[in-house]
Amino acid sequence: MFTAAKPIESAQEAPHGGLLDRLQRHLLRLPTAPVAAHTQAAFEALQRDLGPSPGALIFDSGCGTGESTRNLAERHPEAWVVGVDKSADRLGRHRAALPANARLLRAELGDFWRCAVAAGWRLKAHYLPYPNPWPKARHYKRRWPAHPAFPWLLGLGGELEVRSNWRLYLEEWQVVLESLGIASRLSPLAPTPEAPLSPFEAKYLASGHACYALRAALGAGGVPAPSWSAYQARCEAPEVFSRPALTAILATLPPEHGQREALAEALTQALAAAPLRKPAGHRGGKASDFLPCDLGPGGSEALRHTLERVLEQRGEGGDDPALRLALRALRSR
């Protein structure tokens, strides 16, 4: 028996206005942090189990106790069905025997998707059965359409199906998919002879909630390129500098600047990080020469004033091309 679920409460009444900006930011700068060790190990174990070319493959992302994985494996005997969840506790509650074509793994979803894309895996289908994520408006960045891992989900391709009892959440999926030219269908879950896909779905249906499914064909996959307009706007953002500008700023940091050590560390980290990605059709390599660098509140203006005083003290006879380049970059922020 289920405890009756409370209706969803949210002050948000429409898809969040920041969704598309977040998407383009993530497309422009894909995650480069190391994959979590337990996720890397789980993926490598799965590779050894299924082989380098596993054939028809279905992901059940956020599988919870694995009940949805078992249901999907029974409905798709022709495919490997891999259920992934970050919670060892939830996965440990699975008691029923799994079909031979099903696997359950503990892993961080975003990292797991990234491993799969890097390995060249492409999905037949991808299910996300979790129905009610982060309904507070201020938490929209934690929902998948605004999450840094979203580009990797797209990169896996296949037939996407997301289920929820919160229609607005699925409308946000529609907004981001449409911005990339991907059509989707959003509809109420119609009564079927089959049991609910997941315990979440069973609980909400038993509580009288309407449940919905969003379906979209992601095709052969591949991480989308950022758009030209988003790329240009991001390059012109106050916290983004060209590599030569950052190098010049670091080289001309005066010893007397009060935040010299902190600024030097921020500049060094920015220069070592991955740059923004170029849009499709850009000449040269995929990476640009623009890098985000947060100089802190008022940091850019304070540094500009300091360098201007240095320039005044040196006068015309002490002209320094690096100093002038650094000042041009800071004055344009």
Domain residue spans in the chain? 19-217, 228-331
pLDDT in tens, 116-140: 999 999 999 999 998 778 999 999 9
pTM: 0.85
Number of residues assigned to the chain: 333
For tokens 């600024």, name the residue: 263
User: What number does CATH give the domain 19-217?
Assistant: 3.40.50.150
- Percentage above 90 pLDDT, the chain: 60
Indicate if the pLDDT at residue 2 is higher than 70.
no
User: What's the whole-number mean pLDDT along residues 220-233?
Assistant: 90
pLDDT recorded at residue 43:
98
Structure tokens at 13: 């009444």
Neighbours of 137 (CB within 10 A): 12
Predicted confidence band at 319 (pLDDT cuts at 50, 70, 90)?
confident
**d(C-alpha 83, C-alpha 107), whole Å:** 10
pLDDT at 136: 93
First and final C-alpha spacing in the chain: 59
Q: Are 108 and 147 in contact (CB under 8 A)?
A: no
